[in-house]
Amino acid sequence: MCGIMGYIGKGNAVPVIIDGLSKLEYRGYDSSGIALYNNNQIETVKKKGRLSTMVEKLEEKAGIDIGIGHTRWATHGVPSDVNAHPHADCTGQIVVVHNGIIENYAKLRKDLMLEGHDFISDTDTEAIVHLIEKYYKNTSLEKAVRKVLKEVQGSFAIAVMCVNEPDKIIAAKKDSPLIVGLGENENYIASDIPAILGKTKQIYILEDKELVILTKDSVEITDFDGNKVHKEIFEVTWDAIAAEKAGYEHFMLKEIHEQPVAIKETLREKIKDGLVDMSDLNIDEIFEDTEKIYIVACGTAYHAGLVGKLAIEKLAKIPVETDIASEFRYRDVLWTPKSVMIVVSQSGETADTLAALREAKRNGIKVLAVTNVVGSSVSREADKVIYTHAGPEIAVASTKAYTTQLVIMYLLALHLANVKSTISKEEITKLNNDLLKMDTLVEKVLTQQNKIKALAEKYKDIQSTFFLGRSFDYAVAMEGALKLKEISYIHAEAYAAGELKHGPLALIYDGVPVLALITQDHLVDKTMSNIKEVKARGAVVVAICKENLQETCQECDEQILLPDLNPILAPIVSVVPLQIFSYYMAVFRDCDVDKPRNLAKSVTVE
């Protein structure tokens, strides 16, 4: 949550910072601001609303070579001009941008106010800048910031600028991400890689409790105690084009269409001679004698974990518990010895997922991370990592990250089944070959875009909808419902089809649309009975069903047909019509598809 971008160098700071912030808007977009050193003073512009609103207020400024900017997702204090970052001290000479939460801000604020500091916002961040002001007496900015870092509690990535030391930006982090981009006679600080794509490919990834001083031509990293830290330069492989819309109206639509390639890329280095081969990833050492697997994640990644549970239990016969990270971290887990945790996170920065990972490690449990972002916190803290190769996912609604997470879940299930010989070699080979066809099958579904669009147009004014399924279909129903809620703001609920009559059936009324997933051959008759139950109560049923089940599903009002596919692997394909449906529902309802209200892509606070 919240994006930070800072620049110091030879060039024109304003466009660089604005461009960086535009790539970070996915992290929050309820206000934005920029602070620039100009004519021996710091000028700040900040505005409630999207970045474009702030940019409109920004007068053209050339020749400015240092500045910091911020795009906000509100935690403390409503979205407003005054709560937007950067925040300044009483003199207006020191400014700070912050991502995270200062947990002891109330006490700090109270004490500072008693000492005479004037607070003007409701944010936790303002305490940081007044505290720097307090300590910045007869000393350097660096020393003052170091003192503050010892006093603030919680999570933070900050960048600080000061009138008296206009040749530097000081930044520091704990539990919120921060990277340094290395240029020639110019350097950058940012919350995430997309902000600096197209500017440099060389970065440093800051670890917790590290502080960096950026000047035009130097980058000095130390720990919070001042000890020098030597870091390897990390070469970014994503290119700038991958983070652009490439002619699509929205990132989400582009990312939906990128799924065949993302699936292929994710499979690439894990299949050798046509068979799953994860030997290069060295994961066997953590799965030796595994008696239980915990899969922990949030949102869409959690839904991928639900599919992972079904696949691993079915194929590798290892018991799996899939949990929502924010619940898992506070429950009394009865850790089973010989267990492994798998954390799934597109960003690798989700606070709750990271906390669950740390909890597992504290209990001596090995952790495997499945993430899309190389160098992310979970990738660094886990014992082993498997990357999804989805490329940058910019839209808040996750699509290609989900399908590639599913691919990894299946690869893992197959790999473990192979190692443990829990299913026959023939079955493994068959599933393996079917998995290799997934990209083509997704492509086939994408050709139905216009049909699904027409369906969305027809249902665009609905108030409420339900998603049903059994087994793998239920897991996908949950993802479909989340997608629809998230971007079109329509109330949507997912139910296990067999559970309806235990209560939710009372919600069915005349004309309510029900989207039913029907891909599990052995369960089709059961699901059809449930469909008849909702139809009998007036529901209009849209079936997302496999071609071979078309006959059985005839009674449904509408059908979206999926190509013939292995039912175990069906989620990779069956989710795609739901993504397209949600996308067009949001478009027809004039919603901001890529930046839905109240949300941010990366949830780095609890």
Q: Hey, which residues are catalytic here?
A: 2, 601
Cβ-contact 410, 386 below 8 angstroms: no
Instruction: Tell me which stretch binds ligand M6R (CB under 6 A): 132-140, 298-306, 408-416, 457-465.
Output: 298-306
The least distance separating ligand M6R from the CB of residue 115, rounded to whole angstroms, comes to 39
Count interface residues toward ligand M6R (CB under 6 A).
16
- For residue 317, the one-letter residue type is K
The least distance separating ligand M6R from the CB of residue 303, rounded to whole angstroms, comes to 8
Instruction: Tell me which stretch binds ligand M6R (CB under 6 A): 49-57, 296-304, 465-473, 498-506.
Output: 296-304
x-marked contacts with ligand M6R along 329-368 as a string, rule CB under 6 A: ----------------xxx--x--x---------------
Q: Which residue in the shown chain puts its C-beta closest to ligand M6R?
A: 299
Instruction: Tell me which stretch binds ligand M6R (CB under 6 A): 113-121, 157-165, 392-400, 547-555.
Output: 392-400
The least distance separating ligand M6R from the CB of residue 395, rounded to whole angstroms, comes to 8
How many Cβ atoms sit within 10 Å of the Cβ of residue 355?
Answer: 18
Closest to ligand M6R by CB, 5 vs 396, is 396
Cβ-contact 388, 343 below 8 angstroms: no
How many Cβ atoms sit within 10 Å of the Cβ of residue 40?
Answer: 8
Binding of ligand M6R at residue 398 (CB under 6 A)?
Answer: yes
Closest to ligand M6R by CB, 397 vs 496, is 397
Binders of ligand M6R in range 456-515 (CB under 6 A): 482, 486
Closest to ligand M6R by CB, 301 vs 560, is 301
How far is 567 from 553, CA to CA, in rounded Å?
A: 16
Distances (CA, A) of 578 to 7, 224, 322, 516, 562: 41, 47, 23, 11, 12
Closest to ligand M6R by CB, 432 vs 582, is 582
How far is 169 from 158, CA to CA, in rounded Å?
A: 10
Binding of ligand M6R at residue 290 (CB under 6 A)?
Answer: no
Binding of ligand M6R at residue 585 (CB under 6 A)?
Answer: no
Hey, what are 227's tokens?
């000890």
Binding of ligand M6R at residue 379 (CB under 6 A)?
Answer: no
Closest to ligand M6R by CB, 161 vs 580, is 580
Instruction: Tell me which stretch binds ligand M6R (CB under 6 A): 22-30, 395-403, 464-472, 512-520.
Output: 395-403
- ∠ CA 478-476-262, rounded to 5°: 120
Binding of ligand M6R at residue 396 (CB under 6 A)?
Answer: yes
The least distance separating ligand M6R from the CB of residue 398, rounded to whole angstroms, comes to 4
Binding of ligand M6R at residue 298 (CB under 6 A)?
Answer: yes
The least distance separating ligand M6R from the CB of residue 401, rounded to whole angstroms, comes to 6
Closest to ligand M6R by CB, 403 vs 602, is 602
Closest to 104 in 3D by CA, of 134, 141, 170, 149:
149
How far is 419 from 287, CA to CA, in rounded Å?
A: 10
Closest to 447 in 3D by CA, of 177, 257, 283:
257
How far is 599 from 395, CA to CA, in rounded Å?
A: 11
Main-chain dihedrals φ then ψ at residue 235, nearest 5 degrees? -90, 120
How far is 88 from 42, CA to CA, in rounded Å?
A: 10
Closest to ligand M6R by CB, 73 vs 204, is 73
**Phi-psi map region of 39: left, alpha, beta (phi>0 left; psi -120 to 50 alpha):** left
Instruction: Tell me which stretch binds ligand M6R (CB under 6 A): 30-38, 295-303, 356-364, 506-514.
Output: 295-303
Distances (CA, A) of 465 to 433, 559, 596: 36, 16, 19
Cβ-contact 40, 227 below 8 angstroms: no
Q: What is the DSSP string of 43-103?
A: EEEEEES-HHHHHHHPPP--S--EEEEEEE--SSS-S-TTTSSPEE-TTS-EEEEEEEEET
The least distance separating ligand M6R from the CB of residue 103, rounded to whole angstroms, comes to 21
Identify the helix (H) or strand (E) that includes residue 328: helix 325-328
Closest to ligand M6R by CB, 398 vs 432, is 398
Sign of CA dihedral 482, 484, 490, 491: negative
Closest to ligand M6R by CB, 28 vs 299, is 299
Q: Which of 67, 177, 260, 299 lies at the binding interface for ligand M6R (CB under 6 A)?
A: 299
Q: Which residues contact 305 (CB under 8 A, 6 or more apart)?
A: 295, 296, 297, 322, 323, 342, 344, 409
Binding of ligand M6R at residue 296 (CB under 6 A)?
Answer: no
The least distance separating ligand M6R from the CB of residue 2, rounded to whole angstroms, comes to 15
The least distance separating ligand M6R from the CB of residue 278, rounded to whole angstroms, comes to 21
Instruction: Tell me which stretch binds ligand M6R (CB under 6 A): 43-51, 297-305, 436-444, 513-521.
Output: 297-305
Contact residues toward ligand M6R (CB under 6 A) are 298-301, 345-347, 350, 353, 396-398, 482, 486, 602-603
